[in-house]
Structure 1
Amino acid sequence: MSARRRSHGGWRYWVHRYLPLELAGTACALLVGAVVLGRTGSVLAASVAASWAEIAGFYAAAAVAEGTRRPGVGLVGRCRAVVRGVPAVVLEFGPAEGVDLLTRPALMWAGAHLLPWALPGLLLGKVAADVAFYVLAGGAHVVVRGRGSRPPASAATTARWEPGHDDTPTPFLLMDLDEVATACAQLRDGLEGVALHYAVKCNPDQQVLDVLHGLGCRFEIASWEELRLLVGLGVDPADVLYSNPVKPAAHVSRCAEAGVWRFAVDSRAELEKVARLAPGASVYVRMRAVGSSGAVASEGKFGVDPADAVELLSSASSIGLRAYGLAFHVGSQTLQPRAWEQAIARAGEVMRELAGRGVRLEMLDVGGGFPAAYDTPVPPPAAFGRVIRAACRRHLPYPVLVVAEPGRALVATAGTMVATVVGVARRPGATWVHLDVGALNGFIEALETGMRLRYPTADSRGGPQQRYCVTGPTCDSQDTVLREAPLSAGLREGDRVFLGSAGAYTACCASRFNGFDIPTVRHVARRAPGIPAARSDAGSVQAPRPA
C-alpha cells in the first residue's frame, strides 16, 4: 500500500473529513423535505427539494471547512479564505456530484415509496445515494488532495529521515540552505528592480546569512548585535538599512561608527537622537500601515501619518540630517498583492508635498510582508512585483531606489522543526500530543496568530492519520501550536514529529520558560559548500553612498 493511501486510510480521518459535512447536508435535507412535503403533499416535490437542500448545505460546510485551512484575518479575511477554498472543493467532489445529481433524487423517491413512512424513506434513499457518492469522492480526495497534509517538498523534509538525524537530540530546526538560495532567486526575479534587504530578525542563523550574502542579498537590521553578526560575515555596513524606528542610543552610535548611514525614524525625538549620535546620516520615515491584511496581526506600534512624515522629513536638514526616503510595512504574511498599491499611493502623496517644499527623496522602502507557503499555496513573487512596479509608475512623482525587507518569504519553507513526542493524552473532545517544542520555546507565532499559521505536519510513524491538538512541553495552557493537525493514529512517546515551514521566527524567538530547551539549528545542503552567487542587486537598484 502506498504512503499516500496509508495517510488517508484510517476511519478516523474519513469521519473527521466528512461527518460534519454530512450532518450539515442531512439537516438541510430533512428540514426542507419536511417543509415542502407539508406544504405540497407531494413526495416527488419533497424529494427534489430535499436533494437540492442537502447539496447546498453539504457544499457550504465543505467551503467553510476548506477555508479554515487557509490563512485569513478578521471576518473579511476569513470570507476570502472560504472563497479561495472553493476550487479545491470542486476538484474533490465534482466528479462524484456529476453522477449524484442524477441518482440521488431517484433513490430518495424510491426509498419514500418502499417504506410506509415518507420521511424515513427519504432518509433511506439518501443513505443509498451516499454510498455511491463517497466511492467516487473518496477516490478523488486521495488523488487530488492526498498530499495536502504533508510539508512542502524540500531537502529539509526529505533529509529528516536520513542517517545521522534519527539520533539527534530534539528539538532542532533543520534548515535547507539550498531552499534558502532558491527562495532568494525566485523573490529577486519576481520583484525585479527592487533591492532585497533580508530582515535579519526573522532568522539570524549565521549559515543562512552567509548564503544570502553570497547571493548578493543585502540586509536590514533592528539592533547593533544584528550588525555585528553581519560584519563578522564580511557584510559592508554601508549596504545595511537600520529600520527599527526606535533605537537604543548606544546602538545608533555603534552602528554609525561602523559605517551604517541610513536610519529609520517615526518621531521627532528619534530624529533628534539620530542627529545627535550620527550627525550627517540619512533618515527615512516609517509611515503607518492602513488596513493591514497580514496573517500576523499588526499592533500599530510603528508609523506616522502622511502629514507627520512630511514635517519630519522637511525638518531633517535643519538639524544636520539628510531627508532620504519613506518606508512602510503592509503586514506580515500578506496574501493580497494589492495591499502594496494603497501604501505606495500614500507615499507618492508625501513625495509630492515634499517636492513642493524643495525636498526630493531618494528611496522608497516597501517593507516586508511577502508570504511563505505554510499548508496552502500563496501568490508567486511575480504577482507582488507586478503590483509594486505598476504602483510606483502610477503614483510616484519621480523615480527612486525601491527596496524591500523580506523575511519569511526567504527562509520559512526552508525550515523543518524536528520534535519528539513526550506524551499523548486523550481528553474530552480531542487527543493531545505533547512535543518537546511548543509555542513558548519555538512557535511564538502560534500565539501571535491564534494558530492561523498552519504548519504542515508529518511524523516518523507514517500510518493512517487522525487529528490531534499539538501542544508544547511546558505547564502552560497557552503553549499550543496547532489544533486539528493530521498525524498518524497511535502516536506514542518517543515518536518524531516534523513541522514544516518553520524557518521563520521560531528558534530565534524561543524562550527557556519552565527550563525547556531552545531548538538548536542544523543544516542540510545538496550542493557542495560555497553555493555559486546569483546575479546581484546591481545597476538601477544600487544605493548611492553619501559623499
Structure 2
Amino acid sequence: MHNQAIRANQPEEPPDAFIAAESRPPGGAPTLALVAEPPRWVATGITEKMAAFLAEEPETPCLVVDLDVVEGNYRALRGALPQAEVYYAVKSNPAPPLVARLIALGSSFDTASLPEIDLCLGLGADPAKLSFGNTIKKSKDIAAAYERGVRLFAFDAEEELEKLAEHAPGSQVFCRLFVDNVGAEWPLSRKFGCSVAMAGDLLIKAQALGLEAHGVSFHVGSQQKDLGQWDVALEKAAELFRDLAAVGITLKMVNLGGGLPTSYGNRLPYGVDEYGAHVLGAVDRLFDGPRPRLIVEPGRYMGGNAGVLETEVVLVSRKDAADDRRWVYIDAGRFNGLAETEGEAIRYPIISDKDDGETGPVIIAGPTCDSVDILYDKAGYTLPLSLKAGDRLRLLSTGAYTTSYASVGFNGFLPLKAHYL
C-alpha cells in the first residue's frame, strides 16, 4: 500500500511527533525494565510491525496496534513527569495485551467500572494501583471494588460521597472540579465535576464521614492544545488546598487528568517534555509547601498513535452526475469503531493504496443502514479519483477510543476486530 497522505489542509507529520521512542529520565526518575525494542517507523503513522502484518491483507475492518509504541509513549511520559504517577485510562483501550504491557512497566490504572477493575486485577495489577475514577457509581460496585482492595475513589456530589462512606469506609477520596475546556477538541467537563466552593464543603464532609479527603482532580478536555488550561485548573486546585488547610484539613493529591494530545497528522503546539516542564512549573508556583502527590491519567496519548485501522471500500458513488463530490462508503463506521468522528471533532489521517496523483473531494461514510453513519462531510478530505470497491484505506492514529466504542452487532455488523503486535 502506498502511503499517500490525502487529508486536506494538513501537513504530513508522523503521528508519533508527540513522543520519543524511549524516554530519557532525568535524575530521580525510576529505571524502567526493558520490555521491547523501540518502534521502527517506516512511513507516516506506520511501524515496521504494522506494515509486515498489514502486508498479509487481514480481513477488514480491523485495528492493528503496535505495543512497542505504547511502551514508548509510557516511557516518554515518565521521563517528562518523573514526579507523577501514571494512571492509564483503561476506557481508552482496555485490550488485555495492552493493559498487560503497562502492568509490566509498572503503570497504575484509572478505571471507570467494576469490569475494568476486574480486567486489571485479572492481569496481575495491584489493587493499590487502581483508582475508581468514575464519579457515577452504583453502591454495589463501590462495595465490590472495596472488597477487591481498591482504596482510591472519585466523587463530585454529596450523595456519591455518602455511598462511599457507607461502602468504602476509610478510603482515600478525591473531588473532581468543574473546569472550562477551552482549547480542547473534545470537551469533557459538562457532565462531571463541581465548583470549588462545593468541592470544599464536600471534602470537609468526607473527613467528617471517616473518609480521607485526599485531594482533587480535573480534566482540561481531550486533545487539549493550550498548555495554559492546566494553569487555570491548577489555580482552582491550589485555592482549594489553601481553603481546606485553613480549617485543618491537609489535602495531599492533585489528579491532573488526561488531555495530552496525540497527533492526527498535524503538528502539535507542544511536546511531552514541554508539557511536563510546564505542569511542574505551575505546581511549584501555585502550591504552598511541599509539592503534592501528582497523578496523570493518559488515555488517547498513550495508545492513539499506536494503532492503524484497515478498511475496505464497499462503494463509490455520486448522488447526481453533476456532483463534484463522490460518496465513499467503507466497512468501518460510526457504530463499529469510529464513534469519535461525531461532529467531525477527531479527524483521522487517511492513506490510500492508490497513488495515481489525481484526487477529488469526497464524503466518507460507514456501511450501516443508518443515516447518521457519515464520518466526514465538511472536513475537506480528498481521495484518488480511481478509487473503487475493494480498494483499501488506512485510518492512522486509531489506537484509542475505537474498539472500546464499537457496538455489539448493530445492523448485524460484527464489532471491530483488533490485533496487538
TM bin (shorter chain): 0.7 to 0.9
Determine the C-alpha separation between the residues in 2 that align with 1:351 and 1:388: 17
Shift of 1:376: 0.4
Aligned to 1:205: 95
User: Partner amino acid for 1:521?
Assistant: A
Shift of 1:192: 2.8
Determine the C-alpha separation between the residues in 1 that align with 2:48 and 2:143: 41
Unaligned runs of 5+ in 2: 14-42
- 1:338 equivalent to 2:217? Answer no
Determine the C-alpha separation between the residues in 2 that align with 1:153 and 1:188: 24
Secondary structure at 1:187 match in 2:
helix
Contact 2:263–2:305 (8 Å) recurs in 1: yes
- 1:182 equivalent to 2:67? Answer no
Secondary structure at 1:244 match in 2:
coil
Contact 2:213–2:251 (8 Å) recurs in 1: yes
Contact 2:328–2:365 (8 Å) recurs in 1: yes
Aligned to 2:372: 478
Aligned to 1:454: 347
Shift of 1:481: 2.1
Shift of 1:478: 2.1
Contact 2:189–2:221 (8 Å) recurs in 1: no
Determine the C-alpha separation between the residues in 2 that align with 1:312 and 1:443: 38
Q: For residues 513 and 279 of structure 1, do their structure 2 counterparts lie closer, same or farther at Cα, with a shift above 3 Å needed?
A: same
**TM-score, normalised via structure 1 length:** 0.67
Contact 1:367–1:406 (8 Å) recurs in 2: yes
Could you tell me which of 508, 520, 528 is aligned with 2:417? 520
Secondary structure at 2:318 match in 1:
strand
- 1:253 equivalent to 2:150? Answer no
Q: For residues 291 and 169 of structure 1, do their structure 2 counterparts lie closer, same or farther at Cα, with a shift above 3 Å needed?
A: closer
Structure 2 matches for 1:420-435, cutoff 5 A? Answer: 420-427=312-319, 428-435=323-330
Structure 2 matches for 1:122-133, cutoff 5 A? Answer: none
Determine the C-alpha separation between the residues in 2 that align with 1:229 and 1:155: 29
Structure 2 matches for 1:96-175, cutoff 5 A? Answer: 151-155=44-48, 157-163=50-56, 166=57, 168-175=58-65
Number of matched pairs: 382
Contact 2:155–2:161 (8 Å) recurs in 1: yes
Determine the C-alpha separation between the residues in 2 that align with 1:494 and 1:421: 5
Aligned to 1:499: 395
Contact 1:245–1:302 (8 Å) recurs in 2: yes
Q: For residues 213 and 486 of structure 1, do their structure 2 counterparts lie closer, same or farther at Cα, with a shift above 3 Å needed?
A: farther
Determine the C-alpha separation between the residues in 2 that align with 1:297 and 1:363: 24
Contact 2:179–2:189 (8 Å) recurs in 1: no
Contact 1:171–1:518 (8 Å) recurs in 2: no
Whichever structure has more helix as a proportion of its residues is 1
- 1:444 equivalent to 2:343? Answer no
Determine the C-alpha separation between the residues in 2 that align with 1:462 and 1:425: 20
Determine the C-alpha separation between the residues in 2 that align with 1:289 and 1:297: 10
451-460 or 212-221, which moves further after superposition?
Answer: 451-460
Contact 2:181–2:188 (8 Å) recurs in 1: no
Determine the C-alpha separation between the residues in 1 that align with 2:358 and 2:271: 31
Unaligned runs of 5+ in 1: 18-64, 70-149, 525-547
Could you tell me which of 156, 159, 174 is aligned with 1:269? 159
User: Partner amino acid for 2:339?
Assistant: I
Determine the C-alpha separation between the residues in 2 that align with 1:156 and 1:443: 23
- 1:304 equivalent to 2:194? Answer yes
User: Partner amino acid for 1:309?
Assistant: A
Could you tell me which of 219, 229, 252 is aligned with 1:362? 252
**What CA deviation, in whole Å up to 9, does each residue of 1:48-83 have, x standing for no partner?**
xxxxxxxxxxxxxxxxx569x9xxxxxxxxxxxxxx
Shift of 1:157: 4.8
Shift of 1:184: 1.1
Return the index of the structure with the highest Cα Rg: 1
Q: For residues 223 and 326 of structure 1, do their structure 2 counterparts lie closer, same or farther at Cα, with a shift above 3 Å needed?
A: same
Contact 2:45–2:308 (8 Å) recurs in 1: no
Aligned to 2:302: 410
User: Partner amino acid for 1:515?
Assistant: G
